[in-house]
Each structure stands twice: as structure tokens, then as C-alpha cells.
Amino acid sequence: MSVHDFWTPFSLYPFLNSLFIGISLASIFFIAALGLTIIYGAMGVINMAHGEFIMLGAYTTYVFQQFLGFPFLLCLPVAFIMLAIFGLIVERGLIRTLYQRPLDTLLATWGLSLILIQTIRLIFGGEPKYVGVPGWLDFQIEANFIHLSGVRLFIIIFAVIIGAVTWFLMYKTTMGIRIRAVMQDKEMAASFGIDSNRIYSITFAYGAGLAGVAGALFGALKTLFPDMGAGYIVEAFLVVVVGGIGLVGSMFSAGILGELSSIFSYFTNDTFARFILFTLIVVFLRFRPQGLISEGATRR
């Protein structure tokens, strides 16, 4: 194998296109990680089933679209609501009994992820399913150095929208102050009338709902498998560990990881790009274990 098989020399337009693909990747990273970082930041719970929550969002979209005839746009809020309700049940039934026991929470949510994969496999089988892309998203942008599908553009726009909505909820509402107060100092929050259990329920439900929306969006991009969540959970964890706890850190982290991943892929290939990226993350965490920006009290 020669160097040229492995190394792509610099060329302006393809490189600029890779930067644009980086934005698309960043939006996917961000959407996948948002629910996870909110749950982790507010509750200290590492939800190993987050990828499977994304998978459930995708299958929810598939069911409502294929069997009930819902249009794709309507499936997005439906996936949010269904997963939020599911998240609420999981928090009340499972997570709540395991607070202050992070290892048990890790194991329990991992176990839950296996149950969810097998349940979906039993119901829908192992063969791939597809979420129909609406006609108005079935286009390609081909201009100068930009080559981008309508679905990817839609995901970029949607990432901005749910980022903005989440920012508004967290920083401009009294509920956001409550959630951030619990993130910073649970005892002090309780001393000022905040019921942290209620905040945990709301936060977990919101985080699960965001995973549902992520699943609905990713369903339009890729085929659906019962174990499709495994890929997304890795990306989500990368964003959280690099970004630190909180919305702003996740946004920056997703942007940086998406662009780096795309640039490394341009110069080498996807596999080697991942190797470089993971190595850089390990080095980065050696010097900044709390991540880029941490809004919580401490890395738990």
C-alpha cells in the first residue's frame, strides 16, 4: 500500500466540502448527545440505554408513519412525547431506587438496553426497517464545493432549533433555574423549596424525549436495526466527556468532534480518522478531565 492510497492530498473544494460534512456530523453528534448530557449533568446518571432510547425513537417514528399514516414532521413530536413518557416510567420504576449508587445505575441501564434491543427484535424482527423521507426533503444541494442531502440539511437546522429550545428552557425559565440549581448543589436547591426528585423525573423525561427526536431524525438518515443505538451511544459519550457537563460544552464539543472527524476522514479514511480522534480525546482528557466547559458542580 503506497502513501497515496492512504493519504489524500489537499485540494480546496473537496476540503471545503469536508468542512461542510463536518457540520452535518456535528449536528448528529449534538442531537445524539443532548439528552445524555442533560441527564448526566442534572442527575449524575450515566444512562447506558441512551442509544436504545434513540433506537426506540426511530422505531416509534416507523410505527406511526407506516401503520398509522402520520406524516414525518408530526412523528418528531410524537417520538418526543412517547419517549418522554417511557423515560418517566424508567426513572420512577428503576433509576429512582438507584440514586447515589452510580455503578448499579450503570449496570441497570445497560441491562435495560439489552432488554429493549431484544424486545424490539422480538416484535419487529432483525431485518432492517425504513422511515420514509417526505418528498420535500428528497433533494440534493449541489453548489460549488457543497454536496448535501435534504435530510442532512434538515438535521442541521433541527439541531439548531432543539439546541435553541433547550437553551431557552435551561437559561430563560424558572424550571431551568431549578434544574441548574440541582446540578450545582442539590442540598441548597432543596433548602430553597426545590423537590429534586421531581426535577430528576422531569429532566430524565426531557432527556429521553430528546433521544426520541434524535431517533426519529436518524431514522430518516439510516436504516433501522434493533441494535442501532450502540453506534450512537459511543458518539454521544464522546461529546459528553469532551464537552463537559452542560449544553454549551456539548455544543462546542459536537462541533469540534464533527469537524475533526470529517477533516481526518478527508485526509485519511474513516477508520484511521476514528483512531486519531480517539487518541486526541485521550490526550485531551489527560490534561482537562472535566471537559471543555462544565456547568455542573463536579465531574461525578
Partner 1 sequence: MLELSNVTSYYGKTPIIQNISFTLEKGQCLCVLGRNGVGKTTLLQTIMGLTTSMTGSLKINGSDYSKKPTHIRSHAGLGYVPQGRRILGKFSVRENIVLGTFARDDKDNTLPSSCLKLFPYLAENLDKRAGLLSGGQQQQLAVARALATDPLVLLLDEPTEGIQPNIVEDIQNTLHHLNKDMGMTLILTEQHIKIAKQLADMFIIMDIGKAVAQGPIDQLTDELVHEHLTI
Q: Would you tell me which residues interact with partner 1 (CB under 8 A)? A: 174, 177-178, 180-181, 184-185, 187-196, 295
Q: Could you tell me the smallest distance in angstroms from the CB atom of residue 182 to partner 1?
A: 10
Of 104 and 185, the one with the shorter C-beta distance to partner 1 is 185
What are the counts of helices (DSSP H) followed by strands (DSSP E) for the chain? 12, 2
| Nearest Cα residue to 216 out of 98, 111, 132 | 132
Gap between the Cα atoms of 79 and 266, Å rounded: 34
Q: Are 119 and 235 in contact (CB under 8 A)?
A: no
Sign of the dihedral through C-alpha 5, 7, 13, 16: positive
Distances (CA, A) of 175 to 67, 89, 196: 36, 21, 12
Backbone region of residue 221 per phi and psi (left: phi > 0; alpha: psi in -120 to 50; beta: other values): alpha
Q: Could you tell me the smallest distance in angstroms from the CB atom of residue 262 to partner 1?
A: 32
Of 106 and 194, the one with the shorter C-beta distance to partner 1 is 194
Q: Could you tell me the smallest distance in angstroms from the CB atom of residue 209 to partner 1?
A: 24
Q: Could you tell me the smallest distance in angstroms from the CB atom of residue 297 to partner 1?
A: 9
CA 18 to centroid of chain Cα atoms: 21
Q: Could you tell me the smallest distance in angstroms from the CB atom of residue 166 to partner 1?
A: 17
Of 121 and 299, the one with the shorter C-beta distance to partner 1 is 299
Of 2 and 174, the one with the shorter C-beta distance to partner 1 is 174
Of 2 and 100, the one with the shorter C-beta distance to partner 1 is 100
